[in-house]
Every structure is written in structure tokens, then in C-alpha cells.
Amino acid sequence: MIKTQKVIIQTILMLTMKKVKITQVRSAIDRPLRQKRSLIALGLKKMHRTVEHNATPQILGIVDSVKHLVKVEEV
């Protein structure tokens, strides 16, 4: 019973979670390795590519670490 309630709550959260559209607008050349890996973790490999993610605290934290390289829009 408790497991099913947990699954239901997780499903509701996933459906109501906001999405963000992230676009790489600056190059990762001459950036620290940590920033390059953050871009790869977001799924951005080339300039002017766009990805959509749920606005979780983890994703927003990664975006904050490379905010000078990306443009973020709410969907």
C-alpha cells in the first residue's frame, strides 16, 4: 500500500513538473573541464543546440554552474 502511494506521488510530480529549454550560446573552448562536463551532462555538445529537461534542483544546479554559456527558457 505504501509503495503504490509513493509511485502515485512520483507520477503526479513528474506530470506537474516544469520544463526548461536550455540552449548553448557560447563555446566551451578554453573553459575548465568541470564546465565542459556540465554541458555534456546537460546533453549539449555543439553550439546553438537545444535540449529540454524537467526543472529539478539537480538540473538547475548544473545550469547555474554554466549560466554564462547557456540560455534558459521556461516551457
pLDDT confidence of 15, banded at 50, 70, 90? low
Residue 45 in domain: yes
The answer to whether position 5 is within a domain reads no
Whole-model pTM?
A: 0.79
Residue 45 domain boundaries: 18-74
Encode pLDDT of 20-72 as tens digits: 999 999 999 999 999 999 999 999 999 999 999 999 989 999 999 999 999 99
Tell me, what's the pLDDT at 5? 74
pLDDT, position 13:
67
Give the CATH number of the domain where residue 30 resides. Answer: 3.30.1390.20
Q: Is residue 8 part of a domain?
A: no
**SS3 labels along the chain:** CHHHHHHHHHHHHHHHCCEEEEEECCCCCCCCHHHHHHHHHHCCCCCCCEEEEECCHHHHHHHHHCCCCEEEEEC
48 domain residue, yes or no: yes
